[in-house]
Homo-oligomer: A and B are copies of this chain.
């Protein structure tokens, strides 16, 4: 059932990390004895440090975004499992240069709790820490009675924009403020046609019929909010964009950045076909698309499917989105 290029299911994260460090010695170093990858030059003096993290299986998130202009460190959990507080704390120690640390957290109970505990431990040591919780997934209802929306591909825009401001020497407050602005202005929604298989589980995350799809999917192989008959690319794109626009409510003439994110097994060809429709709809609504990103930014192992993300841009965000970045997966 499980066809993977692995050795032992329990070792995938360890071996991936070793492979990454071997492949990118100019960019990354591993904090010894941990699953934390940080910038080669960490801690960077006089700079607010950014840490992101979460379960593995979302590559290139998050270690692919470690480098100048984006993240200082990534803390890697087991596949789809939040990293533990001790690991996050090691990450904080490795990147902190005294100007404070921003923790970029996707809104999942596990991530929130583990990062919170790490932040409490760091603060107890006198390290200045702020947290930003990303919750861009409009598939999930956001109310005080729920855990709120999930964080998905929109998180990468937070890395980019907050990272660019930090690189300019801004304070922790400033970096946190701009991260909050991105979170307010970014919305996503995803869908999948096939499940994925967590190596240690050895079986697909759900069963799905030959002509079915899941709409409103997250990035952990979980079922979506709705199962329906597989539709055309145009219909799927329309549905995802409609939900995103409904929630974000951009005005005609607004500027935006678009991300069409592949979940793992979907060819670039199909992502561009989705994008064709997305860009047509945005043109109709008179949304000015300033920049477009089509590819795999936040995956869910080998799931077939995609998500559509829209980020409303003002001048500040546009400038920071365009600022230089030099990481494995994002170069500008």
Chain B neighbourhood of A15, CB < 8 A: 233, 272-273, 276
Q: Is the CB of A301 within 8 A of B7?
A: no
Report whether B266 and A302 are in contact in the complex, using a CB–CB cutoff of 8 Å: yes
The distance in angstroms between the C-alpha atoms of A220 and B276, with both chains bound, is 25
Residue pair B302, A267 in contact (C-beta under 8 Å): yes
- Whether A6 pairs with B232 at a CB distance below 8 angstroms is yes
Contact A59 B268 (CB under 8 A): yes
- B-contact 0/1 string along A1-24, CB 8 Å cutoff: 101111100001001111110111
Chain A, 252-296, contact with B by CB distance < 8 Å: what is the 0/1 string? 000000001000111111111111100110000000000010101
In A282-319, the 8 Å CB interface with B consists of 292, 294, 296, 299, 301-302, 304-306
- A207 interface residue (CB < 8 Å to B): no
Do B268 and A5 touch across chains, with their CB atoms under 8 A apart? no
Contact in complex: B274, A233 (CB < 8 Å):
no
Partner of A4, one of B20, B270, B294, B332: B270
Q: Is the CB of B233 within 8 A of A269?
A: no
With A5-B306, A267-B57, A267-B264 in contact, is A279–B230 under 8 Å at CB?
A: no
Specify which chain B residues have a CB less than 8 angstroms from the CB of A279 in the assembled complex.
19, 22-23
Point out which of A194, A279, A294 has the most chain B C-beta atoms below 10 A from its C-beta. A294
Within 8 Å CB of A59, what residues of B? 267-269, 272
| Additional A-B contacts beyond A266-B302, A268-B296 (7; CB < 8 A) | A5-B273, A16-B273, A17-B272, A23-B279, A59-B268, A64-B268, A302-B304
**Chain A to chain B contacts (Cβ below 8 Å), 21 pairs:** A3-B194, A3-B213, A3-B304, A4-B193, A5-B193, A5-B274, A16-B273, A19-B275, A19-B279, A23-B272, A56-B269, A57-B267, A59-B267, A59-B268, A59-B272, A264-B267, A265-B302, A267-B301, A268-B299, A296-B296, A302-B304
Instruction: List 6 A-B pairs, minimum CB-CB distance, nearest first.
Output: A19-B272, A265-B265, A59-B268, A19-B276, A5-B270, A22-B279
Residues of A that sit less than 8 Å from B by CB? 1, 3-7, 12, 15-20, 22-24, 56-57, 59-60, 64, 193-194, 210, 213, 230, 232-234, 236, 260, 264-276, 279-280, 292, 294, 296, 299, 301-302, 304-306, 331-332
